[in-house]
Structure 1
Amino acid sequence: MMMMVVMVMMMMVMMVMMMVTMVMMMVMMVVMMVMMMVVMMMMVVVMVMMVVMVMVVMMVMMVVMMMVMMVVMMVMMMVMVVMMVVVMMVVMMVVRMVMMVVRMVMMVMILLMILLMMMMVLVVMGMMVMMMVMMTMVMMLVMILLMILLMMMMVLVIIVRSLTRLRFLRFGNPALEEVRRGDLAGVRQLDQLEVYGNNLKRYDPGSLGDLWPLRVVTLRLRGPFQDNLTLVSSIFHDVSYSETFLVVADVLLSEKTSAAPFSEINRRRVRSILFQNATLTDEAMIHVLEVMDGASLESFGLEDATFYGTGAWKPARRTHLVNMDTVYFRNIEVMEVFKFTSFLNLGFLLKYLRQISIINCKVYVMPCLTSHLLTQLEYLDLSSNLLTDLTLTESLCHGHGILRNLRVINVSDNALKSLSIVSKLVTRLDKLIHLDISQNAYTSMPPTCSWPQTLTHLNISWAKLQRVTHCLPLTLEILDLGHNDLTAFHSVALPVLRELHLSGNKLRRLPPGWLFPSLEVLLIQSNTLNMFGPMDLQLYRKLRALQAGQNRFVCSCEFVYFMVWRWGGAVEGSVELTDRWDNYLCDSPLPLQGQRVDRVRLSPFQCHRILVVSALCGCVLASGILFVILLWKLHVVWYVRMMWAWLKAKRNSGNQRRRDAAGNAEPLCYDAFVSYSEQDAEWVEEFLVPELENSQPPLSLCLHKRDFLPGHWIIDNIINAMERSRRTLFVLSEHFVHSNWCRYELDFSHFRLFDGDSEAAVLVLLEPISKDDVPKRFCKLRKLMSSRTYLEWPQEDERRAEFWSNLRLAVRGGDEL
């Protein structure tokens, strides 16, 4: 029974421990839930909905896990109870039989309980690890979401900052129907704004009111001008400032009510307004002027507009626009222009104007009466119209100087033909500074012209002028004669000219620089220039900028060197090339055509032909001299002479053989030919000749003094004498080596040695002489002196008999000595 009690108590203890474990797990789960709730409370400010969804999912997962855990624990408890019952029954059955086994069973049960406890602990730890993993994953997910949110906020900040730096905004499209306040939040300090709202139906006042300073505003509000003028007034109120240049585009102003929104412009004191791509009537314009009565408006313009009406301006003559000084009309088409009256009714407005631009409006005349009204006019632009010499005369009141304040006139791109008429019409305009008469049909320039003394800028470009005369005013500072047919510019001096435009003509050279002592800028592109150099530019004393590209350059050595090596992008002195190197291309020679001048590389022979030829000639001469010296050092002359002698000897030997064959051969006349120096003649005549010729039998000697034929070339005499002698007796001494004729004789003897007759020479040394004193070219003779015994004249008298005996034997052809 005690055993049973103990076992029951142990089971109760185990159950208590299991309950405690479960309570601890529940507490941990509660703590975790509290922590998660805290996290959720911290995140709820940023993204409530997302966190709620995450927490709901997590709670569901936790509930499911708790239920799974409870089921597992119940199963384990049931298993344990069953096991305990079984164990108890087994114990009861065997307790009586085997008491000793009880202890073992108890031990086994204790071990089983320990194992069960360990399993429970492992399960709990596993659950805790799983919960920690889940918490880690949740925290990572939260961190990722926070990072995404932070990045979105940063992008938003960047966008807002970029919008704060925005300077130009084109806003709207054909589908834009409403603009609400806050649509352009973040946009500040805008300079240019273009609103495309032709179909705009709703606008919250103030939506564009925060944009500032708005220098230029373009409004395309065709629909609102027809249907909702209040909307237009609200927009005008928000975007109009005194410094704003207001462009009203794509509008139709045909009724009186259309002018109502412009009262807002008057209140906002806008100074400049331009109607662009508009359709207007004179009635609507009259009401616009009435609405703008007393306004600060200074500039009024129409561009690409169509005008209907007859020009009945009288109703607006009571308006006061004293600040209006600029009128700008461009590409205006007046419908039924034949019904249109003059501008005399606008005299109340014309008297204030200082600048008038009427461009490409098909104007053919401005009546002189209208010109009388323009008392303050300083700038007049009538370009791209239909003016002729006759109508321009009417417009300028026949040159009476009515427009005395006029400073700038632009009548370019009309039908003017006479430069003389134009000069007369402006002569009395004593404040005229700038005159543009370009793109007209001028074909010639009169010899002389009269101009106002104040004229400094003259533009006669894009005409058909072929030459320049003294018609040009001497007061010019800027002259544009570009794109004419000029072939030369000379003999016309302009002392104060600073800028000259001559591009697009047919000039072949730069104008003389001495004609323009004050010239600073010269443009001469697209002409027919071949080249220019430092001498041309030195005449321009103040020139600092040059444009000369797109010409037909001849890439000579001087031009390429001047352009590339001396200029290198900067011309002589302070002059600079202000156009691109791509404009400087070679036109000739043909191999270089199309190449950039700065990339051309010419050979020294092309650039310095005379120098190169002179150098080559010098090299050839020096080589010739060196060659001659080399020939002399190598004794080539001697070899040539020997060859000539050999050929002559061969010819003689051939003749000799033919004579031998014919039986009339010349016999040998001498036993020996004696070769000696003139300084040694005394020894030869006193000792040698008597001893040999008086011997028994006597020997016949050939001496040049007595046996050479007079009148023959000495070389022929030497050769004939040696050919007719059996031996050649050389009397060697220092005088012999340095004697020219002896050397000839030695040369020919040397040749005979080469021909195989090694017995032909007998050497007698009159005085001691080394073989080294014999010239090195006599290699055979030097070899003989080394290999054969030669006779040496003894100084002792007792040895001379033996010398003469040996000499006779050698001459007669005895054995070797």
Structure 2
Amino acid sequence: MRGQMVNGDEGRPSCSRCDLHLSCNCSYSGFTSVPMVTDQALSLDLSFNNITMVTQDDLIGHSQLRVLDLHGNRLAVIHPAAFDSLWNLEDLDLSDNQLTILNHRWFNKLEVLQHLNLLDNPYSRLGSPPLFLGLVRLRTLRFGGPDLKELRREDLSGVTHLDELTVHANNLTRYDSGTFGDIWPLGHVSLSLYSPFLTNTELAAVLLEDVCYPETQITLADFHWTHYVSVQPFKESFKRIRNLSIRNLSLSDEATVSFLALFNGNPLRSLSIVGLTLTGEGRWIRANRTDLSSLDEFFVSDVTIIDILKFAMTSDLTFLLQYQKKLSIVNAKMFLLSCTNTQMMVNTEYLDVSDNLLTDLTLPYMLCDSGKTLQNLRVLNISGNHLKSLSTMSRLVTKLTRLTHLDVSRTSYSSMPHSCTWPSTLRYLNISRAKLATITPCLPKSLEVLDLSYNDLKEFVLTLPILRELHLSGNKFLRLPAGAHYPNLQTLTIQLNTLNVFGLSDLQSYRRLENLEAGHNKFVCSCEFVTFLHPQLVGSGDVKITDGKQSYVCDSPLYLKGEAVSQVNLSIIQCWPVLFVSVSCGVALFFGMLVSVLLWRCHTFWYLKMTWAWLKAKRGSQRRWQQRNMDGSEPLLSFDAFVSYSEKDASWVEDFLVPALEEPSDTDSVNPTSPLTLCLHKRDFLPGHWIMDNIMSSIERSRRTFFVLSKNFVQSDWCRYELDFSHFWLFEAGGDAAILILLEPLSKDDIPKRFCKLRKLMSSTTYLEWPQEEERRPEFWRSLRNALRGDDEQEN
């Protein structure tokens, strides 16, 4: 994490749970004091710890902090200058702590603070001087709790206008008129005034008078109205309320009638009640003349009837239903809504009866099986009821000729008939969270949005030509549906299935697909899939991934399980092993051939072969020397000279050399010559012996070595061996120098470089040239004999 820990006091805890957005979540960590975090943090969540105090030094250095949440601790003491360094703080939550006194100095330096939550602390008043005097940018203010007793006129000085004001004042005993009156505009007000409505209706009326404006959304909470007096605080303010929400409301029959009477002729447009408890028997006939013509929207949910067996609503109260355009009766344990009531809903365009006890038997009574009803209805939400027959539903809604949206999710539909009738206007159908295993042509072709999420579907093959959105999450799909059936599909969600892979060809089958959500599947991270998905996740593909790259995680292979696809980088070996092996073998073969050619061109193989033969022969020679040394004998010399020549020059050796040296000569009467003994491989090598041993042994047993040089010689490998063995004998075994006989003109450049020893000998040794003229040959033989017997003659 970037940045440094501030205030390095020993023993002070630290928190490093900060994400890349510099948001540090240190909640539920058991801290008893403010921990050290990076000084670059923008958001710090310390909620639900055991912090009791914020000192002057705890937050020094956090000038970049935008959000600080201390909700749900045990804060009892905050130093007056604790927040002075938080110049950029926009959101501060001190709710649900033990603050008995609020200090205005906490907020002196928080000039850009926009959201402040002081709810549910045990203070009885806001304090003086005014807390919020310098908070000119404050837009959300929440304060109060069970101990708040009084609100004085100056308490909210400095607060000019708010988007949201929340006040918990169930035990309020004093309220100065105008305390909230100077705040304008005021977007949304939430009030908890349980005790004032029961015991101090005048106080409640004054307070409501200050906040009730036609443009302000009013939310009231925690009311228990037992008689008509309880609703009297609304008598004047109700004339100005346009939008009213009530939470946790308990009504007796008398209070209900009085409450309904407040609607009479008033301009209330929207009424929402969440958590309604009816303690009476439903005898509200005295309110049947109430004018509710201005009420466009009525929402009621979580209804509890204390004595359901005695509760009886009559048709005289159908006036409650005839004006609303939007009507919701949710989770009211309603098992029947009669045809008489629905026929009164002549203006209803939106009807929500979800999470009730309707069944396939009571549904025909609601939709008037034998008559017309709900002729203006466009949206019907009947989800969460005990419905099992989709064919019954389709047949009953066919008469709703303006119906465009139908929600039958969270029902018990387990099968679908092969064909159904639907309104031609139907565009949106939600059958999610049912038990469907197969899909049939029962679905209407007119659909633009279809939600089949969280069923038991394995495939979906149905042509829907104008479908724009298809939701298939939470099923058992192994692959994407074929896009050719949905030429206008723009959005596809298929999360939480058993989808392994999908590719470019799958997406290209959808002609107009723009948004895809396919995360949280069991992806096989193959090379093709990872390579394809990477650009899609960063937004460079043709389709936009809208569920975030963190949703795409590898399930296999095992070594990648749990890894984000966006972080996977597979090597060439993993992706294309056959291609890699083929290319590697090809490259190795190419380099092998290249090296072989280079070695051949450099005669390396010849050198290796020669070296091996030379080493082997050398070991044999060494053994013979060691044996002679052990015996104390001298080397046996059997020949005057070993003759090394090419087989192609054998005729010259046999016709000229051998007769000239091995036969006695009497031509010179003064110095007659005795015959010499020559070693020729053709006649003197021992049969059955390795040729290399023969060569080495012959050289060792010869006083001198003749090399008959010609172009044939330098082309012969055996001649090269003999030359190298002679060189070894000369320098390592103490033998005599070689004698070179040049049969034909041969320069050093004519000798291959591999004959390096021969080239060296020709540079350092005088050689004899074979004369082509007959008259010069006696001199040649005389020189040759002298070279061979030079040492002996000197001794004599």
Same fold (TM over 0.5): yes
Deviations 1:191-214, CA, capped at 9 Å, x for gaps: 444444444445554444333343
Worse-matched range after superposition: 350-359 or 496-505 = 496-505
Superposition deviation, residue 373 in structure 1: 1.6
Q: Is 1:582 the counterpart of 2:550 in the alignment? A: yes
Q: What is the distance in 2 between the residues matched to 1:816 and 1:723?
A: 22
Worse-matched range after superposition: 601-610 or 427-436 = 601-610
Q: Is the contact made by 1:646 and 1:751 (CA closer than 8 Å) also made in structure 2? A: no
Q: What is the distance in 2 between the residues matched to 1:613 and 1:530?
A: 27
Superposition deviation, residue 719 in structure 1: 6.5
Q: Structure 1 pair 725/356, CA: closer, same or farther in 2 (3 Å)?
A: same
Say which SS state the counterpart of residue 398 (structure 1) adopts: coil
Deviations 1:427-448, CA, capped at 9 Å, x for gaps: 2211111111112222233333
2:56 aligns with none
Say which SS state the counterpart of residue 265 (structure 2) adopts: coil
Worse-matched range after superposition: 300-309 or 185-194 = 185-194
Superposition deviation, residue 707 in structure 1: 7.2
Worse-matched range after superposition: 471-480 or 215-224 = 215-224
Amino acid of the structure 1 residue aligned with 2:596: V
Deviations 1:718-762, CA, capped at 9 Å, x for gaps: 9699799968754423x334544xx53453354355355956965
Q: Is 1:380 the counterpart of 2:361 in the alignment? A: no
Superposition deviation, residue 777 in structure 1: 4.5
Deviations 1:658-695, CA, capped at 9 Å, x for gaps: xxx9xxxxx989987683574x6786677556655765
Superposition deviation, residue 698 in structure 1: 6.7
Q: What is the distance in 2 between the residues matched to 1:675 and 1:153?
A: 110
Q: Is 1:243 the counterpart of 2:215 in the alignment? A: yes
2:277 aligns with 306
Which of 456, 460, 476 in structure 2 is aligned with 1:506?
A: 476
Q: What is the distance in 2 between the residues matched to 1:417 and 1:534?
A: 39
Rg comparison, structure with higher value: 1
Q: Is the contact made by 1:331 and 1:361 (CA closer than 8 Å) also made in structure 2? A: yes
Superposition deviation, residue 451 in structure 1: 1.9
Superposition deviation, residue 366 in structure 1: 0.7
2:506 aligns with 536
Superposition deviation, residue 371 in structure 1: 1.5
How many residues were matched structurally? Answer: 651
Superposition deviation, residue 803 in structure 1: 2.0
1:594 aligns with 562
2:188 aligns with 216
Q: What is the distance in 1 between the residues matched to 2:135 and 2:189?
A: 18
Q: Structure 1 pair 806/400, CA: closer, same or farther in 2 (3 Å)?
A: farther
2:588 aligns with 620
Say which SS state the counterpart of residue 241 (structure 2) adopts: coil
Q: Is 1:339 the counterpart of 2:303 in the alignment? A: no
Q: Is 1:437 the counterpart of 2:408 in the alignment? A: yes
Q: What is the distance in 1 between the residues matched to 2:696 and 2:198?
A: 138
Q: Is 1:754 the counterpart of 2:725 in the alignment? A: no
Which of 192, 206, 209 in structure 2 is aligned with 1:234?
A: 206
Say which SS state the counterpart of residue 292 (structure 1) adopts: coil
Q: Is the contact made by 2:613 and 2:692 (CA closer than 8 Å) also made in structure 1? A: no
Q: Is the contact made by 2:416 and 2:442 (CA closer than 8 Å) also made in structure 1? A: yes
**Residues 144-223 of structure 1: pairs in structure 2 closer than 5 A:** 162=134, 165-170=137-142, 172-223=144-195
1:516 aligns with 486
Say which SS state the counterpart of residue 560 (structure 1) adopts: helix
Q: Is 1:800 the counterpart of 2:777 in the alignment? A: yes
Q: Is the contact made by 2:484 and 2:509 (CA closer than 8 Å) also made in structure 1? A: yes
Q: Is the contact made by 2:705 and 2:726 (CA closer than 8 Å) also made in structure 1? A: no
2:3 aligns with none
Superposition deviation, residue 457 in structure 1: 1.6
Q: Structure 1 pair 430/701, CA: closer, same or farther in 2 (3 Å)?
A: same
Q: What is the distance in 2 between the residues matched to 1:198 and 1:717?
A: 119
Amino acid of the structure 2 residue aligned with 1:595: E
Q: Is the contact made by 1:677 and 1:739 (CA closer than 8 Å) also made in structure 2? A: no
Amino acid of the structure 2 residue aligned with 1:792: E
1:419 aligns with 390
CA RMSD of aligned residues (A): 4.4
Superposition deviation, residue 356 in structure 1: 1.4
Q: Is 1:471 the counterpart of 2:435 in the alignment? A: no
2:519 aligns with 549
2:375 aligns with 404
Q: What is the distance in 2 between the residues matched to 1:672 and 1:240?
A: 131
Worse-matched range after superposition: 645-654 or 335-344 = 645-654
Q: Structure 1 pair 626/205, CA: closer, same or farther in 2 (3 Å)?
A: closer
Deviations 1:105-158, CA, capped at 9 Å, x for gaps: xxxxxxxxxxxxxxxxxxxxxxxxxxxxxxxxxxxxxxxxxxxx9x99999999
Q: Structure 1 pair 158/725, CA: closer, same or farther in 2 (3 Å)?
A: same
Say which SS state the counterpart of residue 277 (structure 1) adopts: strand
Q: What is the distance in 2 between the residues matched to 1:642 and 1:784?
A: 19
Amino acid of the structure 1 residue aligned with 2:781: W
2:234 aligns with 262
Q: Structure 1 pair 289/158, CA: closer, same or farther in 2 (3 Å)?
A: closer
Superposition deviation, residue 362 in structure 1: 0.7
TM-score (norm. length: structure 1) = 0.69
Superposition deviation, residue 501 in structure 1: 2.2
Worse-matched range after superposition: 188-197 or 338-347 = 188-197
1:77 aligns with none
1:497 aligns with 467
Amino acid of the structure 1 residue aligned with 2:209: H
| Structure 1 residue runs without a partner (length 5+) | 1-148, 662-666
1:446 aligns with 417
1:110 aligns with none
Q: What is the distance in 2 between the residues matched to 1:328 and 1:153?
A: 44
Superposition deviation, residue 642 in structure 1: 6.8
Amino acid of the structure 1 residue aligned with 2:502: F
Amino acid of the structure 2 residue aligned with 1:332: V
Q: Is 1:279 the counterpart of 2:250 in the alignment? A: yes
Deviations 1:542-571, CA, capped at 9 Å, x for gaps: 22222222222222223333333x345115
1:603 aligns with 571
Superposition deviation, residue 280 in structure 1: 1.0
Q: Structure 1 pair 630/347, CA: closer, same or farther in 2 (3 Å)?
A: closer
1:527 aligns with 497
Q: What is the distance in 2 between the residues matched to 1:720 and 1:176?
A: 119
* % same residue: 46
**Residues 82-97 of structure 1: pairs in structure 2 closer than 5 A:** none
Say which SS state the counterpart of residue 805 (structure 1) adopts: helix
Superposition deviation, residue 330 in structure 1: 1.0
Which of 527, 530, 534 in structure 2 is aligned with 1:560?
A: 530
Worse-matched range after superposition: 205-214 or 459-468 = 205-214
Greater helix fraction, Structure 1 or Structure 2: 1
Amino acid of the structure 1 residue aligned with 2:260: L
1:95 aligns with none
Q: Is 1:225 the counterpart of 2:197 in the alignment? A: yes
Superposition deviation, residue 307 in structure 1: 0.8
Q: Structure 1 pair 288/685, CA: closer, same or farther in 2 (3 Å)?
A: closer
Worse-matched range after superposition: 292-301 or 384-393 = 292-301
Amino acid of the structure 1 residue aligned with 2:487: P
Q: Is the contact made by 2:617 and 2:693 (CA closer than 8 Å) also made in structure 1? A: no
Superposition deviation, residue 459 in structure 1: 1.6
Q: What is the distance in 1 between the residues matched to 2:252 and 2:622?
A: 132
Q: What is the distance in 2 between the residues matched to 1:312 and 1:543?
A: 56
Amino acid of the structure 1 residue aligned with 2:541: E
1:73 aligns with none
Q: Is the contact made by 2:699 and 2:726 (CA closer than 8 Å) also made in structure 1? A: no
**Residues 768-783 of structure 1: pairs in structure 2 closer than 5 A:** 768-770=745-747, 773-778=750-755, 781=758
Q: Structure 1 pair 199/688, CA: closer, same or farther in 2 (3 Å)?
A: closer
Superposition deviation, residue 259 in structure 1: 4.2
Amino acid of the structure 1 residue aligned with 2:215: E
Amino acid of the structure 1 residue aligned with 2:188: V
Deviations 1:337-394, CA, capped at 9 Å, x for gaps: 2222244112333222222111111111111222122122211111111122222232
| Structure 2 residue runs without a partner (length 5+) | 1-104, 112-127, 632-636, 666-673
Q: Is the contact made by 1:302 and 1:332 (CA closer than 8 Å) also made in structure 2? A: no
Q: Is 1:572 the counterpart of 2:529 in the alignment? A: no
Q: Structure 1 pair 804/273, CA: closer, same or farther in 2 (3 Å)?
A: closer
Q: Structure 1 pair 759/428, CA: closer, same or farther in 2 (3 Å)?
A: same
Superposition deviation, residue 647 in structure 1: 5.6
